[in-house]
Amino acid sequence: MLVRDLPPSYPSRPTRPMSPLLRIFPAYAAGYFLSYLLRNANAVIAPELTRELGLSSAELGLLTSAYLLAFGAFQLPLGILLDRYGPRRINAGLLLVSAAGSILFGLGEGLPQLALARAAIGLGASAGLMAAFKAFSLWFPVERLPSLNAAVMVAGSLGALSATTPLSIAAPVLGWRGVFLVLGGLSLATAVGILTTPERGTVRTGETLGQQLVALRGVVRSRVFWRYAPPTTLFIGGFLALQGLWAVPWLMHAGGYSRDEAAFHLLLTTIAMAIGFLLVALFIGALQRRGVRPEQVLVAGMATGLLATLGMVLGVGPSHVLWFLLGLSFSVVNLVYALLASRFAPELAGRASTALNLGTFTGAFLVQWGYGVVLDALTARGWLLADAHRAVLGALLLLQAASLAWFLRGGRTRDAVGRATGGASPGR
């Protein structure tokens, strides 16, 4: 079947020894660490880029968006490639593209070359997380996927942290060109490391490309996929939009903080992400054994995010605490990837995860762009900037609340069907 019919206990496949974990996890964790570091590197070196190359704000924005555009556009083809050829070869090959892009960026002289190099970096980094998810789904039982996925996201959080103070310290020493030349070398080394990992004996499914596309269509048309897609798009995509652009303006204009204070809020949020991923990795298995399903933890994470955002909009509660809770919420909501993958057969895990990730980056783009559009429209009508920021964040809050209601309704529908049929409900 396309979608697994799993009872709440998520029965496992046969347990495997620890040695595959020790051989597989570090390499894929390094790949995702590097992916996140490359994604955020431009924020730190932006002043140097602007000053040395004479870039306008729009041109600097183009460089940043080139990464996201290439990264997001490749998600559906990536899923097909991961399912057909396996995560080891695909991730390593793409990291070679990222290495070439980083070196080209370090040697670049003009906007077209830099934008092309940035797009190559995004393309090369596009498999960092999804390849890890695919590898884990091939090697480990389904009840271990939430903890493994959270653990690899800890590595991503460390990459995000490395793109703050550590990179700002290295940039004056190496220069922005030297930074990207070093990142190119790290990409190459990581690709070699992933190539040394073991791979499952049967990766190629024997499907033709046409059959793979038909199966992908089945994934994105399934009821279970569309249960998870809206909250993923609005909660995870919305958080990325805030973290990547609007958090600092919101804190400065609506919160009244200085730029340094706003940056400290973001640092706390990133630390909370890392702590949250680590807690999920350590305790999700123990919670399952005590009868707490990952889906219940996911709902609690979304509810926490809603309450933190509501406090921001209303100006209620300590701001540092609210942004810390938002970071924790983001890490918990990322359980959606493991939960969705557990509902599909292993040979479809890559397509399911990357289709969901496409929704994440689509949401990040739409929220980031739409936020600015609505903000401009409100201020043009005479709204104070602080009030306009609160209104836009409030609108995002309402959309997120609606997506949570949609998710909960889907769960009640599935349970009702399961009771009516005397067993687990169908996933489609």
User: Where residue 166 sits, what CATH number does that domain have?
Assistant: 1.20.1250.20
Highest mean pLDDT among 58-72, 152-166, 323-337, 352-366: 323-337
**194 within 8 A of 91, measured Cβ to Cβ:** yes
Same domain, 184 and 238: no
For residue 239, give every residue at least 6 positions away whose Cβ sits within 8 Å of its Cβ, in sequence order, or none: 305, 326, 329, 330, 333
One domain, residues 52 and 179? yes
Q: Is the pLDDT of residue 200 over 80?
A: no
Spatial separation of the C-alpha atoms in residues 225 and 216, rounded to whole Å:
11
**Mean pLDDT, to the nearest integer, of 137-160?**
83
- Return the higher-pLDDT residue of 169 and 191: 191
> 399: closest CA among 309, 297, 328, 294?
309
Whether residue 423 is predicted with pLDDT greater than 60 in this model: the reply is no
33-90: per-residue pLDDT in tens? 999 888 877 766 767 777 888 776 556 666 766 787 788 888 888 888 888 888 999 9
Q: Are residues 303 and 406 in the same domain?
A: yes
- Indicate if 135 and 244 belong to the same structural domain: no
Q: What is the average per-residue pLDDT within 287-295?
A: 90
Instruction: Answer yes or no: do 255 and 330 share one domain.
Output: yes
DSSP bridge pairs for 344: 3
Residue 293 is given by DSSP the state -
Position 427 scores a pLDDT of 43
Most confident of 223-227, 265-269, 276-280, 355-359: 223-227
Query: Rounded to whole angstroms, how far apart are CA atoms 137 and 349?
Result: 7
425 in a structural domain: no
Q: Which residue has the higher pLDDT, 178 or 11?
A: 178
pTM of the model: 0.73
Instruction: Quote the pLDDT of residue 56.
Output: 66
263 in the same domain as 395: yes
Same domain membership, residue 162 and residue 263? no
Closest CA to 67 of 110, 118, 101, 128: 118
Q: How many helices (H) and strands (E) does the chain have?
A: 18, 0
CB atoms within 10 A of CB 393: 19
Q: Indicate the residue type of 360.
A: T
Residues 193 and 284 in one domain: no
Phi-psi category of residue 317: left, alpha or beta, with phi > 0 → left and psi -120 to 50 → alpha: left
Cα-based angle 106, 118, 376 (whole degrees, multiple of 5): 125
What is the number of domains present in the chain?
A: 2
Structural domain contains residue 289: yes
Examine the domain organization and report whether 83 and 161 are in the same domain.
Answer: yes
Instruction: Please give the C-alpha separations between residue 211 and each of 166, 207, 229, 413, in angstroms, as whole numbers.
Output: 47, 6, 23, 30
Between 121 and 64, the higher pLDDT residue: 121
- A 10 A CB-CB count for 88 gives 24
72 domain residue, yes or no: yes
Whether 7 has a pLDDT exceeding 60, the answer reads no
Q: Does residue 182 form part of some domain?
A: yes
Q: Which of 10-14, 176-180, 410-414 has the lowest mean pLDDT?
A: 10-14
Predicted confidence (pLDDT) per residue in 363-419, tens digit: 887 887 788 888 888 988 999 999 999 999 999 999 999 999 999 998 665 544 333
Same domain, 185 and 286: no
Residues 6 or more apart whose CB falls under 8 angstroms from that of 179 comprise 41, 45, 106, 167, 170, 171
What is the structure's pLDDT at 33?
A: 93
Name residue, tokens 């970096």. Answer: 121
Give the integer Cα–Cα distance in Å for 109 and 112: 9
pLDDT, averaged across the chain = 82
On whether residue 215 sits in a domain, the answer given is no
417 compared with 353, residue with greater pLDDT: 353
Containing structural domain, residue 279: 220-416
**Same domain membership, residue 282 and residue 164:** no
Whether 69 is covered by a domain: the verdict is yes
Q: What is the DSSP string of 226-270?
A: HHHHHHIIIIIHHHHHIIIIIHHHHHHHTS---HHHHHHHHHHHH
Q: What is the pLDDT of residue 245?
A: 67
291 within domain boundaries: yes
344 phi, psi to nearest 5 deg: -120, 155
Separation between Cα atoms, residue 268 and residue 276, nearest integer Å: 12
Residue 89 identity: R
- Same domain as 133, residue 163: yes
Q: Which two tokens stand for residue 282?
A: 């350590």
Q: What is the pLDDT of residue 319?
A: 94
Residue 148 lies in a domain: no
